[in-house]
Structure 1
Amino acid sequence: MRLIQAGLLALLLFCCGAPASADVAVPALTGRVVDQTGTLSSSDQAELSRKLADFETRKGSQIAVLIVPTTQPESIEQFSIRVAEAWKIGRKKVDDGAILLVAKNDRKLRIEVGYGLEGALTDATTKRIIDEVIAPRFKSGDFAGGITAGAERMIKVIDGEPLPAPAAKSEWSGNSDVFEQMFEYAPFLLFGAVFFGSILRTVLGRLLGSLAFGGLITLGMWVVLSSFPVALLLGVIAGIVSLIGDAFGSSGGGGSSRSSGGSWSSGSSSSSSSGSFSGGGGSFGGGGASGSW
């Protein structure tokens, strides 16, 4: 009996304590600047995003800014590394990403540094950027100025670090995630071509129906993947499969194929004016520094 009572008491304590210890969810990466507090104006965000985008184009490294109300019950260091692991800022195997995180209500901030930048953005250097560049402006209420000045100083330091040149980007090779999603959607496209495509073939005729189906797939994948060449390729493949769909069965019903869950890399939030943006696969190990104001 005592064992049962002890078990019930332990369960009650766990249930009561669990909600209080819930961690803050990592925000979706909707752009180079993600502000969950409304601290930055839309023009401030647009200008900062432009500077960070220009820097990435020129240097290859990625810098992201995140402003949240609080990281409690976690420390800012714990929350920051979770963000870094989720966002994967910086190039894969180069690991040249950095995140400027501000917890406004906690009056704390941190610069999280990827492995590849730890030689330039050392713990001492990031601490000086926080204490000498960002925090004084925060104390006077100039959050936009502090964040912009801090990001500019980070850019200046990284510019002095020898890093691999940014790869020449094209719409075909700009983001490997797009091609991964191509294969992810392939089974749904095949299903749609055989079954949903048969409806269009019946209504419009075999050739015209297949062309219409391919066009619809191209338009839909363009919206989802934010890459017209890749979407066009998928549309052509879908149209061809639909054209020969009768070989798989001409009695296909009216099943519909629906793409869902668009990529987090194609941000459409007001916190981003940078269009499509994603982390490049960079890794972090806890380098950087924290501070307060």
Structure 2
Amino acid sequence: MRALSVVKALLATLFVCLAAIALADVAVPQLTGRVVDQTGTLSSSDIAGLSQKLKDLETRKGSQVAVLIVPTTQPETIEQFSIRVAEAWKIGRKKVDDGALLVVAKNDRKLRIEVGYGLEGSLTDVTARRIIDEVITPKFRSGDFAGGIDAGVDRIIGVINGEALPVPQPQASHGVDLDIDSISSFAPVAFFGAIFLGGVLRTLFGRLLGSLATGGAIGILTWVLVGSISLALLSSVAGLVIAFIAGGLSSTMPSSGGRRGGWSSGSSSGGWSSGSSSDSGSFSGGGGSFGGGGASGSW
């Protein structure tokens, strides 16, 4: 009898846990780019095209628009889920609130356009509903999800283009046209290239000339791969400094047996590689706020 009671208690606990899991809200996806597709619906070229289009909008108008495709929002409604995502991602500029979010729940056959406070005067609930009904869902019904999303984004951008928004403030770059995406992706290559190439060139030309040659080589490589003169100059200087410092450290290392110097476990202490594998720096919300404006639809 006691064993039967234990089994019943375990089954009851399991049932409660399963029920809790079933009723749990869908987690807000990480904002990894202007287009986040958790269903594999869009091809890489579709995502690249949409992302570039939305990036151009932000550069020109300052407004941010993002697209999210998820399998389902259950047990929440798409309205509850999309406002949670909008509040977490904070699309749009702070105090301008000129963000918009297109959410598609593919398995639920539902979608929503969530609109920030600053766009509610132009991208009204009625306008958002017309974009859904007249542009997006007809293509969805025929199975053309990429075409529907692309056409819907075009209409959203068209509406935002007609809105009088504050001019985007240029990022403080002191006259240097640096691309943060390029820096974050190329930094590890420049860092480790300076170390290994610097070791070879210092052996051939000595510490000073070898470091200068390393900086020049890193700069030329950066210019060839990235196409940015300013980033090439920065990489050249960084390569020179890293190679010169590495040469000084290597000269103080024991020639055999003992513990190696500070490069063994902390070679990335300068911060170059701590986030090199993360895409979170490529796009982030600007602090915009949402109040539930927008429209929903289904197909």
TM bucket normalised to smaller: 0.5 to 0.7
| Residue from 118, 121, 125 that aligns with 1:119 | 121
TM-score (norm 2): 0.65
Change (3 A) 1:248 1:35: closer
Change (3 A) 1:108 1:215: farther
| Residue from 272, 281, 288 that aligns with 2:286 | 281
| Residue from 93, 96, 99 that aligns with 2:98 | 96
Q: Distance in 1 between matches of 2:130 and 2:215?
A: 56
Give the gaps of 5 or more residues in structure 2: 1-5, 254-259
* Greater Rg by CA: 2
Give the equivalent residue in structure 1 for 2:257: none
Instruction: Please tell me whether the aligned partners of residues 96 and 282 of structure 1 are also in contact (alpha carbons under 8 angstroms).
Output: no
**Identical positions, percent:** 60
Change (3 A) 1:176 1:59: same
Change (3 A) 1:247 1:142: closer
Task: Kindly indicate whether structure 1 or structure 2 has the higher relative contact order, using CA contacts under 8 Å at least 6 residues apart.
Answer: 1
Give the equivalent residue in structure 1 for 2:111: 109
1:291 aligns with 2:297: yes
Q: Distance in 2 between matches of 1:90 and 1:202?
A: 49
1:147 aligns with 2:149: yes
What is the 5 A alignment of 1:1-293? Answer: 15-20=17-22, 21=24, 23-24=26-27, 26-30=29-33, 32-41=34-43, 44-168=46-170, 172=176, 203=203, 205-211=206-212, 229=230, 232-233=233-234, 236-237=237-238, 239-240=240-241, 243=244, 251-252=252-253, 253=260, 254-255=263-264, 256-257=267-268, 259=273, 260-264=275-279, 277-285=282-290, 286-293=292-299
Q: Deviations over 1:64-106 (max 9, x none)?
A: 2222222233332343234334544333443322121111111
TM-score (norm 1): 0.66
Change (3 A) 1:77 1:218: farther
Q: Distance in 2 between matches of 1:45 and 1:244?
A: 42
Instruction: Please tell me whether the aligned partners of residues 178 and 231 of structure 2 are also in contact (alpha carbons under 8 angstroms).
Output: no
Q: Distance in 1 between matches of 2:227 and 2:68?
A: 23
Q: Please state whether the residue corresponding to 2:139 is helix, strand or coil.
A: helix
In the TM superposition, what is the alpha-carbon distance from 1:111 to its structure 2 partner?
0.9
Q: Distance in 2 between matches of 1:69 and 1:219?
A: 45
**Alignment-mate amino acid for residue 84 of structure 1:** A
Q: Deviations over 1:150-203 (max 9, x none)?
A: 222212221221112234577846678999x8xxx9xxx8xxx9x999967974
Q: Distance in 2 between matches of 1:87 and 1:15?
A: 30
